[in-house]
């Protein structure tokens, strides 16, 4: 079975999945990337130890998003002659690959990190494109339960859906690597991610300040990440220095992240939009309770309200109250911490590969149907 997967760029959390997929018995696996790295990414990437190809980069920026338009994907696919094509998006490049699969009469697998929540505001044209692609696909791969619900909205049968979770290297973040009790950790909170408006880092400072006032003591918050809001964030932290001790690590390499998470007690994830949020996987693997907005795909799945964290609307006082409940009650904190470590064990690279390969095997045996009109 020869599989070609078309993706925007090589994200660190997918690279181990691609490596394992290429090692599957009876599988030849090629990943075709639109670019080496999108302009807003500072990832430090491991070596790509799997067959791959980089297309000639053609990126257009529109409304803060990067659109890839690489016609040469067709020539790469022709040379490789796959049995099936997997596309994980709807950029022009993905659509060229989908068209190749249709014309070559090879199987197509639609893969998405999106969810019913993250795509609820899509316009008519975007939805129409998805209907066309989904109607001519043989299998569907989602990263989450929200993604499966999204497929269901297009009339896709549950038997054609598969899950390939997004995950981190749980063993690298293992909370057992540190025996320091919660009370001895340097920071009360950690925010990890790009310092951009969509990630809502200023909100994290406001939560820390409010929690400090409620507890009557100064609290520490660590920011691990870089971005355009760095200066504004530092200024906001300085203006509230009587309440919080803010640390700014800057961009953190993957090897640095485990110790950063383990230096804090609670992970704050106040994102305005995130189809999933692998940072939550990292935090849970490090044994941190997570307070997350409903805008992240992990909310209600990996992060479960009142079990290993709180799913809370973006209200500063409400978040501060939840944080205080954890910081002031060691028994509750330990229960949430242990639940995080337990829940994240279901999210592994092996599980992600198994879901992807199962979808491809399913697609291999599925008929190459013409345009379906039964709700898809």
The pLDDT tens digits of the residues spanning 322-366 come to: 999 999 999 999 999 999 999 999 999 999 999 999 999 999 987
3-state secondary structure (DSSP) of residue 127: helix
Same domain membership, residue 287 and residue 153? no
- Which residue segment(s) compose the domain that 188 sits in? 170-346
Tell me if residue 206 falls in helix, strand or coil. helix
Q: Is 373 within the bounds of a domain?
A: no
Please report the DSSP string for 48-107 in residue order.
--S-EEEPPP-EEEETTEEEE--TTHHHHHHHH--SEEEE-S-SHHHHHHHHHHHHHT-E
Tell me the average pLDDT across 240-255: 95
Residue 105: how many CA atoms within 13 Å on its side-chain side?
4
Residue 370 is assigned to a structural domain of this protein:
no
Let me know whether 150 and 226 are in one domain: no
Instruction: Supply the pTM of this predicted model.
Output: 0.91
- Regarding whether 198 and 161 lie in a shared domain, the answer is no
Could you tell me if residue 199 is inside a domain?
yes
Same domain, 17 and 110: yes
- Domain assignment present for residue 142? The answer is yes
* Bridging pattern class, strands 65-68 and 84-87: unpaired
Whether the CA torsion 341, 346, 348, 352 is positive or negative: it is: negative
Strand order in the sheet with 52-54: 52-54, 28-33, 2-7, 84-87, 107-112, 139-142, 161-163
Is 250 found in the same domain as 116?
no
The answer to the question of residue 371 being in a domain is no
Write out the H or E segment, with its range, that includes residue 171: helix 170-173
Identify whether 11 is part of a domain.
yes
Confidence at residue 104, expressed as pLDDT on a 0 to 100 scale: 96
- For residue 96, pLDDT beyond 50: yes
In this model, does residue 59 exceed pLDDT 90? Answer: no
Question: Quick one: what percent of the chain has pLDDT higher than 70?
Answer: 95
pLDDT tens track for 171-199: 999 866 554 454 579 999 999 999 999 99
Quick check: is 7 in a domain?
yes
44 within a domain of the structure (yes/no): yes
Q: How far apart are CA 250 and CA 80, in angstroms?
A: 41
What is the rounded CA–CA span in Å between residue 28 and residue 68? Answer: 25
Instruction: Give the tens place of pLDDT for each residue, 104-134.
Output: 999 999 999 999 999 999 999 999 999 999 9
CA 117, distance to chain mean position in Å, is 14
Residues 31 and 80 both lie in one domain: yes
Q: What is the CATH number of the domain that holds 254?
A: 3.40.50.2000
Whether 82 and 224 share a structural domain: no
- Is the pLDDT reported for residue 375 higher than 50? no
Number of domains into which the chain is organized: 2
Q: What is the pLDDT of residue 176?
A: 67
Please state whether 112 falls in left (phi above 0), alpha (psi between -120 and 50) or beta: beta
């Amino acid at each position: 079975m020869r599989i070609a997967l078309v993706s925007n760029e090589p994200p660190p959390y997918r690279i181990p999945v691609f490596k394992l997929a290429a090692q599957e018995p009876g599988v030849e696996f090629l990943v075709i990337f639109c670019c080496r790295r999108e302009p807003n990414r500072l990832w430090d990437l491991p070596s790509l130890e799997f067959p791959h190809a980089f297309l000639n980069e053609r990126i257009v920026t529109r409304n803060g998003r990067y659109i890839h338009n690489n016609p040469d994907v067709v020539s790469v696919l022709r040379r490789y002659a796959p049995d099936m094509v997997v596309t994980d998006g709807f950029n022009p490049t993905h659509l060229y690959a989908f068209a190749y699969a249709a014309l070559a009469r090879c199987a197509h697998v639609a893969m998405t990190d999106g969810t019913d929540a993250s795509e609820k505001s899509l316009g008519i044209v975007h939805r129409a494109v998805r209907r066309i692609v989904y109607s001519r696909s043989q299998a569907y791969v989602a990263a989450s339960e929200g993604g499966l619900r999204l497929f269901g909205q297009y009339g896709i049968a549950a038997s054609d859906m598969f899950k390939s979770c997004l995950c981190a290297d749980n063993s690298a973040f293992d909370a057992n690597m540190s025996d320091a009790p919660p009370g001895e950790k340097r920071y009360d909170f950690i925010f990890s991610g790009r310092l951009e408006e969509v990630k809502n880092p200023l909100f994290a400072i406001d939560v820390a300040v409010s929690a400090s006032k409620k507890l009557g003591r100064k609290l520490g918050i660590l920011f691990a990440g870089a971005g355009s809001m760095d200066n504004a964030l530092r200024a906001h932290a300085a203006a509230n220095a009587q309440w919080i001790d803010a640390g700014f690590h800057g961009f953190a390499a993957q090897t640095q992240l485990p110790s950063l998470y383990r230096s804090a007690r609670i992970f704050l994830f106040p994102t305005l939009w995130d189809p999933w949020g692998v940072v939550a996987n990292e935090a849970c693997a490090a044994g941190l309770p997570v307070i997350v907005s409903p805008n992240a795909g992990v909310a209600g799945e990996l992060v479960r309200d009142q079990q290993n964290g709180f799913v809370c609307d973006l209200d500063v006082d409400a978040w501060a109250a939840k944080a205080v409940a954890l910081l002031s009650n060691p028994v509750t904190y330990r229960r949430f911490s242990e639940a995080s470590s337990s829940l994240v064990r279901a999210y592994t690279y092996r599980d992600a590969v198994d879901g992807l390969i199962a979808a491809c095997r399913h697609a291999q045996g599925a008929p190459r149907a013409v345009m379906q009109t039964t709700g898809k």
